[in-house]
């Protein structure tokens, strides 16, 4: 089975880092780690979608060589904000894609959605280390991504807490001795509510995650449990296991971040406080480790750890994601694109909470499956799924 390749780098040489999505939740956590270890890292490029002020402040603080704003209309404001510094400035989606070609040792992929595909694949093509929190890279273009990684000798390091946990306890040299991997899920803010009680959920309720500080889109995905479905697909491409060997278990305390179950009955788990700075620091320093300001885990204060099965009836996103993975081709691409559109409509208060997965399911049913041979195929399926999702969502509220 084709999976990601991990080539260990020299840990004694300062590493240059590019952060895609520097002003988002993952980006800000990454910069917190970089600021605390200025002697170990330099900053090549920082990117943002529209937040000029924060991007400029970050570039100044860390002495970034380059800053990119994806919205081309904001080039002049960013240029003015960084006047008098060494930081060069560019803008637009093409400039964002070109960031992957720039000579950073590590590219942290924190852009939410399919927008991060081009810069990530460009970084992979030159053999870089890509530390990615962007699920969509492996969901939308998993087979293509893995093939490019293997051809270029690049390295993929997961930043998602669940996949980082598995990576830390997965014996790649003896993968045949692994029975299953278990992705843990907090269950989101609605895990104890019956499905019919979810119809009136508001965006404000959905983004109020009980354990993690995340952006709005990811928080909604957690509430629908689509995030766990996307992680299922991601895990399939990252680790040499079959789809049937990937389980999901609800763990409300979010202390055990995931587990690997071995044939001898041993279950290895990675534990920690729910703070993204821990997996980010692990990826930045890999195969070493560095300190973070993340809180220490005190199990005596946690008191107990509880678990329950994930319910695909209450949360159909889990079923849809597994079905898309089994269908193959562009089904995961379609799943992700339709979900992004439906979540956007929900956040704009134009679509009900339960209708998010209804839209996704309808798009999956109405689109014919296609193979993905290159990035153009990915974008074509992504675009068609978005168009159809917009049409279905519009009709739902019309």
Mean pLDDT of 156-179: 96
Tell me what pLDDT residue 7 has. Answer: 60
Do 120 and 30 contact (CB within 8 A), yes or no? no
Say yes or no: 180 and 98 in one domain.
no
**What is the per-residue pLDDT across 8-32, written as a single tens digit (0 to 9) for each?**
555 567 999 999 999 998 999 999 9
Half-sphere exposure of 37 (CA within 13 A, CB side): 22
**What is the per-residue pLDDT across 364-386, written as a single tens digit (0 to 9) for each?**
999 999 999 988 999 999 999 99
Do 258 and 269 contact (CB within 8 A), yes or no? yes
Residue 335 has pLDDT above 90, yes or no: yes
- What CATH number is given to the structural domain containing 395? 1.10.1740.10
Residue 5 has pLDDT above 70, yes or no: no
Tell me what pLDDT residue 336 has. Answer: 94
Of 185 and 206, the one with more pLDDT: 185
Say yes or no: 150 and 28 in one domain.
yes
Q: What is the pTM of this model?
A: 0.89
Among 286, 312, 338, the domain-final residue is 312
* Tokens, residue 226: 């689509």
Instruction: Identify the weakest region by mean pLDDT among 62-76, 91-105, 134-148.
Output: 134-148
Say yes or no: 59 and 106 in one domain.
yes
Q: Is residue 142 part of a domain?
A: yes
Q: Is residue 214 part of a domain?
A: yes
Q: Is residue 390 part of a domain?
A: yes
For residues 104 and 91, give the distance between their C-alpha atoms in angstroms, rounded to a whole number.
Answer: 19
Q: Is residue 236 part of a domain?
A: yes
**What is the per-residue pLDDT across 55-74, written as a single tens digit (0 to 9) for each?**
999 999 999 999 999 999 99
Say yes or no: 36 and 143 in one domain.
yes
Of 199 and 276, the one with more pLDDT: 276
Quick one: what percent of the chain has pLDDT higher than 70?
Answer: 94
* Tokens, residue 168: 């830390």
The SS3 call for residue 255 is coil
Whole-number average pLDDT of the chain: 92
Say yes or no: 257 and 342 in one domain.
no
User: Quick one: which of 244, 261, 256, 103 has its CA closest to 178?
Assistant: 261
Residue 398 has pLDDT above 60, yes or no: no
DSSP β-ladder status, 155-158 and 129-132: parallel
In the block, tokens 């928080």 appear at: 219
Q: Is residue 139 part of a domain?
A: yes
Of 1 and 296, the one with more pLDDT: 296
Residue 103 has pLDDT above 70, yes or no: yes
Q: H helices then E strands: how many in the chain?
A: 16, 12
* pLDDT-based confidence at residue 349 (cuts at 50, 70, 90): confident
Put the strands of the sheet holding 256-262 in their side by side order: 267-271, 256-262, 178-185, 246-250, 308-309
For residues 354 and 363, give the distance between their C-alpha atoms in angstroms, rounded to a whole number.
Answer: 15
b/e per residue, 140-155, with b = 16+ CB within 10 A?
bbbbbbbebbeebebb
Of 338 and 200, the one with more pLDDT: 338
Say yes or no: 140 and 30 in one domain.
yes
Tell me what pLDDT residue 396 has. Answer: 81
- What CATH number is given to the structural domain containing 74? 3.40.50.720
For residues 228 and 317, give the distance between their C-alpha atoms in angstroms, rounded to a whole number.
Answer: 8
Roughly how many angstroms between the first and final C-alpha of the chain, as a whole number? 46
For residues 246 and 259, give the distance between their C-alpha atoms in angstroms, rounded to a whole number.
Answer: 10
Q: DSSP secondary-structure letter at 266?
A: -
* pLDDT-based confidence at residue 198 (cuts at 50, 70, 90): confident
Q: Is residue 278 part of a domain?
A: no
DSSP 52-77: HHHHHHHHHHHT-SEEEESSGGGHHH
* pLDDT-based confidence at residue 131 (cuts at 50, 70, 90): very high
Contacts with 144 (C-beta within 8 Å, 6 or more apart), sequence order: 121, 372, 373, 374, 375, 378
Tell me what pLDDT residue 208 has. Answer: 76
* pLDDT-based confidence at residue 317 (cuts at 50, 70, 90): very high
Tell me what pLDDT residue 2 has. Answer: 57
The SS3 call for residue 198 is helix
In the block, tokens 């598995």 appear at: 166
Among 138, 159, 180, the domain-final residue is 159
Is the bond preceding residue 287 a cis peptide, omega within 30 degrees? yes
Domain that residue 194 falls in: 165-273+297-312
- The vertex-84 CA angle with 33 and 109, nearest 5°, equals 30
User: Quick one: which of 231, 265, 263 has its CA closest to 247?
Assistant: 231
Mean pLDDT of 286-306: 94
For residues 349 and 195, give the distance between their C-alpha atoms in angstroms, rounded to a whole number.
Answer: 19
Using only C-alpha atoms, the chain has a radius of gyration, in whole angstroms, of 20
Q: Is residue 62 part of a domain?
A: yes
For residues 222 and 310, give the distance between their C-alpha atoms in angstroms, rounded to a whole number.
Answer: 13
Q: How many domains, the chain?
A: 3
């Amino acid at each position: 089975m084709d999976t990601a390749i991990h080539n260990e780098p020299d840990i004694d040489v300062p590493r240059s880092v590019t952060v895609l999505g520097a002003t988002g939740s993952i980006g800000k956590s990454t910069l917190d780690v970089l600021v605390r270890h200025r002697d170990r890292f330099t900053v090549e490029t920082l990117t943002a979608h529209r937040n000029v002020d924060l991007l400029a402040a970050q570039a100044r603080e860390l002495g970034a060589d380059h800053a990119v704003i994806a919205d081309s209309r904001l080039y002049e404001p960013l240029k003015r904000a960084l006047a008098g510094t060494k930081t060069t400035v560019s803008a637009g989606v093409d400039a964002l894609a070109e960031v992957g070609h720039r000579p950073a040792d590590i590219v942290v992929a924190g852009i939410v959605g399919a927008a991060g595909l081009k810069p990530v694949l460009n970084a992979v093509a030159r053999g870089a280390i890509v530390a990615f929190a962007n699920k969509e890279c492996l969901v939308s273009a998993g087979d293509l991504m893995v093939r490019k990684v293997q051809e270029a000798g690049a390295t993929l390091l997961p930043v998602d807490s669940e996949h980082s946990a598995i990576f830390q306890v997965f014996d790649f040299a003896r993968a045949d001795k692994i029975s299953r991997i278990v992705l843990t899920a907090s269950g989101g803010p609605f895990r104890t509510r019956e499905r019919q009680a979810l119809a009136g959920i508001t965006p404000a309720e959905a983004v109020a995650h009980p354990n993690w500080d995340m952006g709005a889109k990811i928080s909604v995905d957690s509430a629908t449990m689509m995030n766990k479905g996307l992680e299922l697909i991601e895990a399939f491409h990252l680790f040499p296991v079959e789809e049937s060997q990937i389980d999901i278990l609800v763990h409300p305390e979010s202390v055990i971040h995931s587990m690997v179950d071995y044939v001898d009955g041993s279950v290895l788990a990675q534990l920690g406080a729910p703070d993204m700075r821990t997996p980010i620091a692990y990826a930045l320093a890999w195969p070493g480790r560095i300190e973070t300001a993340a809180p220490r885990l005190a199990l005596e204060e946690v008191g107990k750890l509880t678990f329950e099965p994930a319910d695909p009836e209450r949360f159909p996103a889990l079923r849809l994601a597994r079905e898309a993975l089994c269908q193959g081709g562009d089904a995961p691409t379609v799943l992700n694109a339709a979900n992004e559109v439906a979540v956007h409509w929900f956040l704009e208060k134009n679509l009900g909470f339960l209708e998010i997965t209804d839209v996704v399911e309808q798009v999956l049913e109405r689109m014919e499956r296609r193979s993905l041979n290159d990035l153009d195929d990915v974008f074509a399926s992504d675009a068609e799924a978005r168009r159809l999702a917009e049409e279905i969502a519009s009709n739902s509220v019309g």
